[in-house]
């Protein structure tokens, strides 16, 4: 069975830093219930998980957080695919094709896709997907599996704080296309996302998904089968657009 889990957003225990970059605490582990479900889908007690942090510029701090969460807490065997170090093609292939779970981290979706194309990653991900490897990820790591996705990577903090500007600048870009439709993560968590995305959807025909933090969409054989949640109030939405008319409804699966 082909499986993709697209997580809208959420923390997994990264450090909170003060102005001098001293660790003064840690964010909550918000996605743990979803992560446990992903691991259970493998049928293995300690599955091999490949973390792909390309969208964050291969942040080693992000790798540490992921190891602490998926490795130390949840008992997986974690490896990292650090593409900016320009590994050999055989190393890339071995890491991707020998994983039980491939988890793509958050960050800049467009930058990630450019690096992947340069390194032949899309074809390897498609092969792993067809072989039964579970594909998943958060934010940019949710976006990447769809035909298109929304990204605010081009926007400044000021842009995001001005709804009129955000409505015009929120971009919709091409992605891998393993799943039909357009993905919008952080759908309710970030104030500009929902209204800006619904505005942008007037230009498109077809289906889209708005996934909030601590919610995830489970697709099996390219069919949406369930909404996974870390908390009962987390939500995901299906958005359809035709001839400029946009209809949004909460997904009740």
Residue 35: CATH number of its domain: 3.40.50.880
Termini Cα distance of the chain: 19
Backbone angles phi, psi at 122, to 5 degrees: -55, -45
User: What does R_g of the chain's alpha carbons equal in angstroms?
Assistant: 17
- Look at residue 207 in the predicted model and tell me its pLDDT: 97
CA atoms within 13 A on the CB side of 39: 20
Q: Give domain status of residue 108, yes or no.
A: yes
- Look at residue 152 in the predicted model and tell me its pLDDT: 86
Q: Give domain status of residue 119, yes or no.
A: yes
Q: How many domains does the chain have?
A: 1
Q: Give domain status of residue 115, yes or no.
A: yes
Q: Is 57 exposed, middle or buried (0-12, 13-18, 19+ CB in 10 A)?
A: middle
Map residue 89 onto helix, strand or coil: helix
Q: Give domain status of residue 203, yes or no.
A: no
Which residues of the chain are under the pLDDT cut of 70?
none
Task: Judge contact between 87 and 115, C-beta under 8 A.
Answer: no
Q: Give domain status of residue 190, yes or no.
A: no
- Look at residue 22 in the predicted model and tell me its pLDDT: 81
38's enclosing H/E stretch is helix 32-41
Map residue 47 onto helix, strand or coil: coil
- Look at residue 150 in the predicted model and tell me its pLDDT: 93
Map residue 209 onto helix, strand or coil: strand
Task: Judge contact between 142 and 211, C-beta under 8 A.
Answer: yes
Q: Give domain status of residue 189, yes or no.
A: no
CA distance 181 to 148: 6
Q: Give domain status of residue 10, yes or no.
A: yes
> Which two structure tokens, joined as six digits, stand for 179?
């799943």
Q: Give domain status of residue 61, yes or no.
A: yes
CA distance 35 to 18: 28
What is the domain extent for residue 55? 3-151+176-183+209-234
CA distance 163 to 236: 22
């Amino acid at each position: 069975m082909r499986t993709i889990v697209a997580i809208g957003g959420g923390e997994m225990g990264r450090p909170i830093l003060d102005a001098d970059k001293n660790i003064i605490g840690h964010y909550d582990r918000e996605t743990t219930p979803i992560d446990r479900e992903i691991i259970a889908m493998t049928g293995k007690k300690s599955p091999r998980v490949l973390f792909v942090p390309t969208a964050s510029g291969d942040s080693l701090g992000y790798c540490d957080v992921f190891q602490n969460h998926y490795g130390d807490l949840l008992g997986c065997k974690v490896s990292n695919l650090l593409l900016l170090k320009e590994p050999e093609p055989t190393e890339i292939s071995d890491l991707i094709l020998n994983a039980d779970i491939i988890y793509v981290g958050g960050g800049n979706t467009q930058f990630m896709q450019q690096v992947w194309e340069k390194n032949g990653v899309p074809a390897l991900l498609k092969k792993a997907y067809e072989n039964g490897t579970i594909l998943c990820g958060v934010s940019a790591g949710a976006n990447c599996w769809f035909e298109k996705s929304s990204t605010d990577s081009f926007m400044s903090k000021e842009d995001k704080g001005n709804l009129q500007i955000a409505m015009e600048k929120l971009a919709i870009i091409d992605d891998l296309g393993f799943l039909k439709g357009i993905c919008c993560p952080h759908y309710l968590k970030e104030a500009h996302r929902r209204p800006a995305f619904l505005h942008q959807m007037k230009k498109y025909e077809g289906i889209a998904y708005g996934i909030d933090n601590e919610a995830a969409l489970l697709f099996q054989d390219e069919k949406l089968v369930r909404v996974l949640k870390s908390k009962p109030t987390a939500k995901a939405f299906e958005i359809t657009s035709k001839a400029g008319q946009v209809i949004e409804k909460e997904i009740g699966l």
